[in-house]
Amino acid sequence: MQQPANIDLKSPELYTNRLISLLEFNRRVLEQAKDPEVPLLERLKFLCILSTNMDEFFEIRLSGIKQKAELGSVQTDIDGRSPQEVLRSTGTLAHEIVHEQYQVLNEQVIPALAENSIHFVRRNHWSQAQRDWLRCYFEEQLLPVLSPLGLDPAHPFPKVLNKSLNFILSLEGKDAFGRNSGFAIVQAPRSLPRVIQLPEEEIGGGGPHDFVFLSSVIHAFVNDLFPGMTVRDCYQFRVTRNSDLFIDEEEVDDLMRALEGELPQRRYGQAVRLEVAANCPDDMADLLLNEFELSRDDLYQVDGPVNLNRLMAVYDLVERTDLKYPSFTPALPTALSSGADIFKTIHKRDILLHHPFQSFLPVIELVRQAAEDQNVLAIKQTLYRTGPDSAIVENLVKAAQAGKEVTVVIELLARFDERENIVLANRLQEAGAHVVYGVVGYKTHCKMLLVVRREGAKLRNYVHLGTGNYHSRTARLYTDYGLLTAEKSVAEDVHRIFLQLTSLGRFKDLHRLLQAPFTLHEQVITRINREAELAEAGKTGRVIAKVNALTEPRTIQALYRASQAGAEIDLIVRGICVLRPGIEGVSDNIRVRSIVGRFLEHTRVFYFGNDGNPDIFCSSADWMDRNFFRRVESAFPVIDLQTRQRIVDDLNCYLRDNRQAWLLGSDGTYTRSQPDLEEEPFNAQQVLLETLSEDS
């Protein structure tokens, strides 16, 4: 098939703006909170997740565009929009999403919770017994830690922490020195719970699941903070700040020390958003906007708590299994049943784990047995996010203390986990492990574990490669693949990458793995082009890619060319996708879907049909500029025939989903997939949960 000569594949009309695409993903998360088929407390949880997502959108994504706009940049994005145009478009969409978020909370979720005897008790509905208990709570638990700050020339507007809960008040009467009162600020420490559960047995009324917002308690008794004066008005507010760290890695001698010095500044970066109570009058909102150097476009007036994420406490406090997703125990492959020698098992054949449907415990067990096995000489691992109290870290410490050669590559610049990773690095070093911080200018994002074991007169390498982090908690929430293998060429490649990360030396090409920033992008393009050539030759050209984001222009252009050549392309993209499918003469043969459900889709899988002899890779990398060119990433081949078929079956499962799938149109908008009249509803995540549990 001849490629149309008159279509410029770089034309802005062929692309969607990445920030708008990200906000559209957040709209899909909001739809989960609206879905009556989702258990009620899970709907509340999705509202909390959306709040966290929007915080990061403003802290990281929008703050960068805002800086460019303020500097007068005229550089356009891939869709042809200037920073100023992006700010306007995303601002309108963000306001719509936040408004609908609170509408869903107040008009759907809270009333439904009340019908199920879970109440958020408003101040004007407190009983006398509840008021008495809350006054006592205020005096004993809140009053000692609150620091009211009157504003005057000697008491300037205080520094306000990023995303902290604050109140602005107007006062009447004379202060202690006989002067007329004005405005004041009350800051709520982060240690205070934002939701307070009323004790049914102490109050002698109400229900077991009655809650009060911290903001309501402070509003009710705030006069106690200003004796002799009267609080006329009191309104909550929260400011979101630019939280993207800037460290010139090439100008620092010690990355850890530089990072430790920069982290505190994140709390006080440039303000990018102001949230205030919906009933806050214009003059007080303008006072705050002026203080934080923001415009009316940056003002979000919300009818409820300014940080819905803190309502996650309610999900944890209410033990109502009927209002949550059914609990499940991640399956354990039969070959790795309790007590199995994990090295013998992996030596026999590759083992593919699909989290969270299958347990993360085998990965922990590999590190545990390696730490205790006298034949294990060395353990090498990359760590990006691990979480506190990590069992993997505990076993790495034990291995180092036992005298084994332990090398850990820790990415200090893992966004929002920097402080934890510094603590982790220090702990491992104190135990005797070799710790390096990746490569200057490139985040180490690949997920690799290498165990070197003496077996007779030889050394054998055992490897774990993953698409997600070594984090046991997220392994229960994110879908990820993990491959346990002793395949010689794969293990040799992992060994070479570790040598590269520690010695910084150049090594020959890898046997099996693709690696960013060196070969991954080139090889993805090469394989897409091969599918185009097959299609042009009248054979079957086929690409299936499952990623979290698709933004890299040359990859998209290769996909467009393959579509023009007649290759069939299915893309499963959870979040940002700037490619537009279904454009006549360009992307007719490309279909894009996003799966949003109980678990966060995080697996990255690349399938290239190769006319019946497919190449299949799992990867730590999305198809984005940063993953291809500014990170150390790996894509590992799936070699074992049974394992390959499992992954193909999984991909087909996602392509059949008609319950949690959203289909992307050529105009950049998403439509929720619905089963046809003759079709049965098909939920991919539920099917995988049931299938993998049965097969293990």
Catalytic residues, which ones? Answer: 445
Distance CA 48, CA 311 (A): 7
CA separation, residue 347 to residues 342, 389, 454, 491 (Å): 8, 30, 13, 12
Hey, what are 80's tokens?
A: 């042809």
Nearest to 611 by CA among 538, 675, 526: 538
610: which residues sit within 8 A by CB, 6+ positions away? 527, 530, 531, 534
Nearest to 354 by CA among 655, 652, 643: 643
Quote the DSSP letter at residue 105: I
Distance CA 641, CA 639 (A): 6
CA separation, residue 312 to residues 110, 257, 307, 309 (Å): 14, 34, 10, 6
Residue 659: how many other CB atoms lie within 10 Å? 18
Cα Rg of the chain (Å, integer): 27
| First CA to last CA distance, the chain | 45
Hey, what are 672's tokens?
A: 């929720």
Strands 183-188 vs 165-172: parallel, antiparallel or unpaired: antiparallel
Q: Is the separation of the CB atoms in 56 and 312 below 8 Å?
A: no
Distance CA 353, CA 359 (A): 7
Q: Is the separation of the CB atoms in 603 and 481 below 8 Å?
A: yes
Strands 405-410 vs 376-383: parallel, antiparallel or unpaired: parallel
Residue 172: how many other CB atoms lie within 10 Å? 13
Quote the DSSP letter at residue 360: S
Nearest to 581 by CA among 599, 567, 563: 563
Hey, what are 692's tokens?
A: 């993998």
For residue 91, the Cα-to-chain-centroid distance in whole angstroms is 21
Distance CA 415, CA 404 (A): 30
